[in-house]
Structure 1
Amino acid sequence: MHPAPSVIIFTTLSGLGFGLLAWLALGYPDVSGVVAFVFYAIAFALAVGGLLASTFHLGNRKNAIKAFSQWRTSWLSREGVGAVTSLIVMGVYAAGHIFLGEKWGALGVLGAVLSLGTVFTTSMIYAQLKTVPRWNTPWTSVLFMLHAIAGGALLAGQVTVAAILLAVLGLVQIVAWQQGDGAFAASGASLETATGLGRIGKVRQLEAPHSGENYLLKEMAFEVGRKHARKLRAIGFVLAIGLPVALLLLAPVNHFVALLAVVSHIAGVFATRWLFFAEAKHVVSLYYGR
């Protein structure tokens, strides 16, 4: 699949934002006043900024509002409803925390559930797609959730917990890559299943469906070289997992070290999220012999 910058920015930043909101809703870090305001401001900026970035991928942004009406059947619509609901709930909770010094426990738990639930709905937009075997697996949702929870813990300054969660995220990422590499072949998708002609024998392509480049080739049959994919996996893994964990466990943690760990993690997530889209192969690519 062709990696759209707006979607990469959206899934990366919003996941971190909602992850941090979930930790704040549960009382971590234990801050108040101006410091609490700064943490909430960062969380809302990431969450809202990511959501706004997603609108740049729409063909007609005026139709974005219509997505909210399809929540019964559409994960995209559920994501929109979940995002707005969680932001409203967390806005009320943040106001009470910052201006009144109150931490309303029940509302906080609800806000945390809604925030992580929003991340889950985002993951299901991709995990539900049977036409993209690499995504059509529970590992997709697990990765999205771990990215949000681990990244949120890192932003919340939960050093030990963040290091553990990042290590778990690293293991899951390796498993997801290994499973994803064989997902297309394991799905059984072939030119026979794509054309529906398998019942009469082996199907072979006489010529390409189109004589030149087209939308499907650009968006659905995008290919990244295996050599480049391996390099990006290594770079993304080191930046998102390896360096932050090393900094948290081996270096005396101060504000500079924490900032370096956060910046490294975000850069690494951008790299792995780009690969998440670039390595995904849509079954329509079978028509083009790819």
Structure 2
Amino acid sequence: MHPAPSIIFFTVFSGLGFGLLTFLGFGKPDVSGFTAFVFFAVAYALAVSGLIASSFHLGNPQRALKAFTQWRSSWLSREACLSVAALVIMGLYAIGVVFFNTRIAPLGLLGAALSLATVFATAMIYGQLKTVPRWNHWTTPLLFLGYALTGGAFLAGQTSIALPLLLLLGVGQLAAWMIGDGQFAKAGSTIETATGLGNIGKVRMFEAPHSSKNYLMTEMVHQVGRKHRHTLRIFGILCLSLTPFILLSAFQFSHMLALAAVLLHIIGAVTIRWLFFAEAEHTVGLYYDKR
């Protein structure tokens, strides 16, 4: 699928924001006053800017409020409702921590749970799609939660938690690639099943169905060269997991080193999230012989 910059920004940075809110809800780091204000400001800036970026991909952004009305059947609507609930609850929790040096633990735990639920709902927007077999797997929500928690631990300064999460996230991402690469073939969709002409024999494309690209081809059909795919995967996993782990575990801790590790992790997350969309094989591509 076409990796739109707004969706990449949304899924990466809102995940970081809600991941940081999760740790703040658990009381990590244990700060108050202006220091706490800075942590909450960063978390809200990331989460809210990500949510705003997602609206840029809507055909009619002015109708974004309608996303809140279909929560019974739509994961996008559930995400919208959960994100607002998480931001409101964590806002109330932040007021106590920042201005009154009072930590209302039940409120923080509820806000942390809602933050993780928001990330899960975001993942399920993609994980529910049977038309994209690579996404339609339990690894999708697991990875989204892993990215949020790892990034949140980084931003919250919880190095002892971030280190094992980095390794787990790296292993999880490699496993997701190994599983995902075979999902489209496993689903059994072919040009014969797509056209419904398999009963008369092998189907092949005689002529393109359009003289120029249409919306479906632009948004749903995107092909990445094998060479570039492998290069980006290696670069992404090195930045996401391995290099930050080495920097934080093999060298004496310093704030500059931690900042470099965080930036590398984010670069890796953006690279791999680009691949998440670019490598997604939508079954509609079968109609255009692009699979």
Moved over 4 A (4+): none
Q: How far has the Cα of 1:247 moved from its partner?
A: 1.3
After superposition, where does 1:216-255 map in structure 2 within 5 Å?
A: 216-255=216-255
- Report the residue type matching 2:113 in the other structure: V
- 1:15, 1:147 within 8 Å by CA — same for their partners in 2? yes
Q: Partners in 1 of 2:225 and 2:200 — Cα distance? A: 35
Residues 191-200 or 82-91, more deviating: 191-200
Q: How far has the Cα of 1:204 moved from its partner?
A: 3.1
- 1:208, 1:287 within 8 Å by CA — same for their partners in 2? no
Q: How far has the Cα of 1:58 moved from its partner?
A: 1.0
Q: Partners in 1 of 2:121 and 2:198 — Cα distance? A: 35
Q: How far has the Cα of 1:200 moved from its partner?
A: 4.5
Q: How far has the Cα of 1:194 moved from its partner?
A: 1.0
- Report the residue type matching 2:231 in the other structure: K
- 1:6, 1:56 within 8 Å by CA — same for their partners in 2? yes
Residues 247-256 or 12-21, more deviating: 247-256
**Which residues of structure 2 form unaligned runs of 5+?**
none
Q: Partners in 2 of 1:216 and 1:73 — Cα distance? A: 24
CA offsets per residue over residues 207-266 of structure 1, 9 Å max, x none?
221122222222111111111011111111111111111111112112111111111111
Check if 1:186 corresponds to 2:186: yes
Q: Partners in 2 of 1:37 and 1:254 — Cα distance? A: 23
Q: Which residue of 2 aligns with 1:32?
A: 32
Q: Which residue of 1 aligns with 2:15?
A: 15
Q: Partners in 2 of 1:255 and 1:206 — Cα distance? A: 61
Check if 1:64 corresponds to 2:60: no
Q: How far has the Cα of 1:199 moved from its partner?
A: 4.0
SS of 1:157's partner is coil
SS of 1:77's partner is helix
Q: Which residue of 2 aligns with 1:109?
A: 109
Q: Which residue of 1 aligns with 2:213?
A: 213
Identity of aligned residues (%): 58
Check if 1:277 corresponds to 2:269: no
Q: Partners in 2 of 1:144 and 1:277 — Cα distance? A: 13
Q: Partners in 2 of 1:257 and 1:37 — Cα distance? A: 24
Q: Which residue of 2 aligns with 1:268?
A: 268
Check if 1:136 corresponds to 2:148: no
Q: How far has the Cα of 1:193 moved from its partner?
A: 1.6
Q: Partners in 1 of 2:189 and 2:57 — Cα distance? A: 28
**Which residues of structure 1 form unaligned runs of 5+?**
none
SS of 1:70's partner is coil
- Report the residue type matching 1:274 in the other structure: W
Q: Partners in 2 of 1:217 and 1:231 — Cα distance? A: 25
SS of 1:270's partner is helix
Check if 1:82 corresponds to 2:99: no
Q: Partners in 2 of 1:59 and 1:236 — Cα distance? A: 31
CA offsets per residue over residues 81-130 of structure 1, 9 Å max, x none?
01001000000001111111111111111001000000000000000000
- Report the residue type matching 2:111 in the other structure: G
Q: Partners in 2 of 1:77 and 1:69 — Cα distance? A: 7
Q: Partners in 2 of 1:253 and 1:118 — Cα distance? A: 33
Q: Which residue of 2 aligns with 1:171?
A: 171
- Report the residue type matching 2:20 in the other structure: L
CA offsets per residue over residues 126-172 of structure 1, 9 Å max, x none?
00000011111110111000000111011111112101001000000
TM-score normalized by the length of structure 2: 0.97
Superposition RMSD on alpha carbons, in Å? 1.0
Q: Which residue of 2 aligns with 1:47?
A: 47
Q: Partners in 2 of 1:180 and 1:18 — Cα distance? A: 26
TM-score normalized by the length of structure 1: 0.98
Q: Partners in 2 of 1:201 and 1:83 — Cα distance? A: 50
SS of 2:69's partner is helix
Q: Partners in 1 of 2:204 and 2:243 — Cα distance? A: 48
- 1:160, 1:248 within 8 Å by CA — same for their partners in 2? no
After superposition, where does 1:145-156 map in structure 2 within 5 Å?
A: 145-156=145-156
